[in-house]
Structure 1
């Protein structure tokens, strides 16, 4: 069982008495008889993809032929950590079948197939789209190489290091390593509708680089490295970072639109955006058909699994951000097609990215402006409730030498008055589009205010009539209010 990123298995064999040209021919025929899709053929080898099945998510097999040896490497194309022996099995199958092919092909077949092989011109273009997806993955020589920028893998490690650094700074400042509190996330810039729509628009951007604990960070960074290795060589630095940031903002807007009081953070929306870009490219004729066949199914399975998993109650997954990122990435991917066809045109590339940036920002501003912030308005106005409650309760702090007339006057003009004002405030919230649990809390608060008014009225009557006859009624009100306070505490 192989473990790594991606999981892979490699073996080196000596050519013995076979020259490079004949080995290449036998190897291609072997791959074809194994029903592997062969592509990227040149005089030094080729790339093949196994078929997608219940036991395989399509592995990429690289055959590299040198003067005296051949290197055979099988690597997973899907986002997984273990291969459960699949890659080693692929190499064993290849070696076994190779011997059979070599021993059964006649000289006449060899000669004709060699002519056919070289009649088909090998790929010589320098365009990034002509490279197999393994180009940058092969440069990962160890764990720390994931963080090292290279020619075709430059933006991804920078995003990786930036996001991890922000998380470490958060932890060093006192944020919980495993489960940051909502307050901590908000202090660092998480996306939260009441605050984001209250002029704090920058949260749409900062939320992309925050994570809710170490496990959330590790899962997202693993997915980022995987899609970065596949996609960045095709897009180049500018398109890749543009797609990441624009789909990240789009995913934040989608989360803002769908959720009322959910604290949202993480790079997953932007990562799903990159998957959307790759899926768009896989539906075009820009990429080799073997690449499309190998990666389309595995990526669809990954995306589908995560979205379905996000539908589970209390999953903690922001599916709105995932879907928003995926759809915006799909659109951006198609928008990149003209500039990718003319890969060397910097003017076309920059004009495309500029247009996408303007469209994304204008669309985001429009949604930002039209979205109602009823929760934010409620949170602000409910502070008035707290303030008036405090004023209504001041009657219990009157000095001992207060006269009966003053007691009645304070209970009536201040106490009962402010409780009635709070009832009016709660009634005004009926016009707001609030979640069901907040509406329920408001109804309970209204009942609490009504009980306070009754209690104050009984106190006034007790003083006016100079009697203890209302003690039971007052005590009953107090018990009901204690029960309500307990209920409200449990609702929070």
Structure 2
């Protein structure tokens, strides 16, 4: 296949002179207008103009001016036409622009150029739609999320910390796709009985744990997007404070909402807090009224959609709402530090007050929320009463079947199923529900024995039902073994009760 020859092109570096890159961009725009080269594109990265031919023998060209740290990169490239010209002609065009720039730079009004830049920047395209911004490869985009740079320091550290903890969990036996809840608890997930029992640090550690790779990837994608934009706008210190405070607020609301203990973990509460922080700042005078309404509509729709998605079972939407509200409070507080003319001491003062407020909220929760333990104790006693009622009914059934000669085989099978086997299955489910209550450690140990006791009884009554259905004595030894194992557990429970004085 034939290949078209490369079009002539030439790049000339031009020193900025006494100007900043932003001021140099406005001066380059003046140069293009003075040369009467029509503007094709203007952004924070540079500009593109077209040099139309002055005569029929001159080829047209596109001149691209890109901003660098201390220079302009002026590139002149032939357009794909029959009259493409030569590289020497492109060099001449770039030189023509450079000479005009250098002549104006010596007498330019830097303050006026800066003022014009601030006015023009509102119309600049975003980086992802800027033709002058190179598009990174997928691998580069992933690596960039972890690479600190100017205006992007705290966000990559937070992302790296979340990913590192996930990798450590997997290396120590956690499932990469869906780790066991017990493992999450050992690593610091937020669980009401443990957090209120003195392990208050779980309010923070839970913000860096994730239920598998997909959970981690979704949260880190969101953190990279909101974190990069917000950190460049408000600074690294404010972003870090917002993330941590919102994470703590999310954990507190989750703790308050879920009276029945759940294992809560993930960075989404803290990330919702960053969106809440941004939402609060948009409503202030920091944002021009002309752009405030569309920004609020866009951000509000995004937050609303994600809260609606959070209604799916298994998602801790209470943490999302808690993080969002906490972030809004932090945002309005930080507004005091971002106003024009705010003194330098305002930021540490506001952060200190926010920290004291969060410490007070945590202390209050640890003191007031444990009162729910009284309700848990009542539910526990009621559950044990129900457990004993089913247990007695099942044993009375066996006694009745041994003594009665009038109960038909079909009736005996039906009652073994409903009063015996189904009753013990219900007891097993009951014990599992009771174990989720906020109870002392000793009661959870007791429930562990009751759970195993119920399993033995389920197996025992299943075999009794099978033996009667098959009119067989082949299961007698197995029934006896399960009964003995259940009796040993009863002895262990009695010893536990005696040791605790019950």
Q: TM-score, normalised by structure 1?
A: 0.58
Shift of 1:261: 2.6
Which residue of 337, 340, 347 corresponds with 2:338? Answer: 340
Distance 1:375 1:178 in 2: 34
- The alignment partner of 2:270 has SS state of helix
Distance 1:13 1:445 in 2: 86
Shift of 1:426: 7.0
Shift of 1:297: 3.3
- The alignment partner of 2:116 has SS state of coil
Which residue of 74, 84, 87 corresponds with 1:68? Answer: 74
Shift of 1:198: 2.1
Which residue of 387, 390, 412 corresponds with 1:448? Answer: 390
Distance 1:237 1:206 in 2: 21
The residue number in structure 2 matching 1:361 is 359
The residue number in structure 1 matching 2:217 is 218
1:19–1:359: structure 2 CA closer, same or farther, 3 Å change rule? closer
Distance 1:182 1:376 in 2: 26
The residue number in structure 2 matching 1:111 is none
- The alignment partner of 2:169 has SS state of helix
Question: Does structure 1 residue 274 correspond to structure 2 residue 274?
Answer: yes
Q: Is the 8 A contact 2:190 2:251 kept in 1?
A: yes
Shift of 1:262: 2.2
Distance 2:406 2:341 in 1: 87
The residue number in structure 1 matching 2:183 is 184
Q: Is the 8 A contact 1:14 1:69 kept in 2?
A: yes
The residue number in structure 2 matching 1:166 is 165
Q: Is the 8 A contact 1:194 1:376 kept in 2?
A: no
Shift of 1:484: 1.1
Q: Identify which range, 479-488 or 258-267, moves more after superposition.
A: 479-488
Shift of 1:28: 11
The residue number in structure 2 matching 1:121 is 115
Shift of 1:191: 1.1
1:252–1:19: structure 2 CA closer, same or farther, 3 Å change rule? closer
Q: Is the 8 A contact 1:178 1:214 kept in 2?
A: yes
Matches within 5 A, 1:358-437: 358-372=356-370, 374=372, 378=376, 428-429=381-382
Shift of 1:311: 2.1
Distance 1:450 1:199 in 2: 39
Gaps (5+ residues) in structure 1?
A: 1-11, 32-37, 47-61, 72-117, 382-424, 430-438
Q: Is the 8 A contact 1:339 1:345 kept in 2?
A: yes
Question: Does structure 1 residue 487 correspond to structure 2 residue 426?
Answer: yes
Shift of 1:251: 0.4
Distance 1:13 1:319 in 2: 57
Shift of 1:452: 5.4
- The alignment partner of 1:371 has SS state of helix
Shift of 1:180: 1.1
Shift of 1:365: 2.1
1:475–1:41: structure 2 CA closer, same or farther, 3 Å change rule? closer
The residue number in structure 2 matching 1:90 is none
Gaps (5+ residues) in structure 2?
A: 1-8, 13-26, 49-63, 78-111, 433-502
Distance 1:323 1:63 in 2: 46
1:427–1:269: structure 2 CA closer, same or farther, 3 Å change rule? closer
Distance 1:249 1:155 in 2: 18
- The alignment partner of 2:162 has SS state of helix
Q: Is the 8 A contact 1:243 1:273 kept in 2?
A: yes
1:484–1:340: structure 2 CA closer, same or farther, 3 Å change rule? same
Q: Is the 8 A contact 2:66 2:73 kept in 1?
A: no
- The alignment partner of 1:68 has SS state of strand
Question: Does structure 1 residue 21 correspond to structure 2 residue 30?
Answer: yes
1:202–1:427: structure 2 CA closer, same or farther, 3 Å change rule? closer
The residue number in structure 1 matching 2:193 is 194
Distance 2:239 2:201 in 1: 22
Q: Is the 8 A contact 2:11 2:73 kept in 1?
A: no
The residue number in structure 1 matching 2:324 is 326
Distance 2:351 2:156 in 1: 21
Highest CA radius of gyration, 1 or 2?
2
The residue number in structure 2 matching 1:206 is 205
- The alignment partner of 2:273 has SS state of helix
Q: Is the 8 A contact 1:41 1:122 kept in 2?
A: no
1:370–1:470: structure 2 CA closer, same or farther, 3 Å change rule? farther
Q: How many residues align?
A: 343
Distance 1:206 1:352 in 2: 24
Shift of 1:367: 2.7
1:120–1:211: structure 2 CA closer, same or farther, 3 Å change rule? closer
Q: Is the 8 A contact 1:458 1:474 kept in 2?
A: no
1:376–1:428: structure 2 CA closer, same or farther, 3 Å change rule? closer
Distance 2:127 2:341 in 1: 20
1:162–1:23: structure 2 CA closer, same or farther, 3 Å change rule? same
The residue number in structure 2 matching 1:100 is none
Q: TM-score, normalised by structure 2?
A: 0.57
Distance 1:427 1:133 in 2: 58
Distance 1:19 1:123 in 2: 12
The residue number in structure 2 matching 1:75 is none
Shift of 1:229: 0.8
Q: Is the 8 A contact 1:193 1:376 kept in 2?
A: no
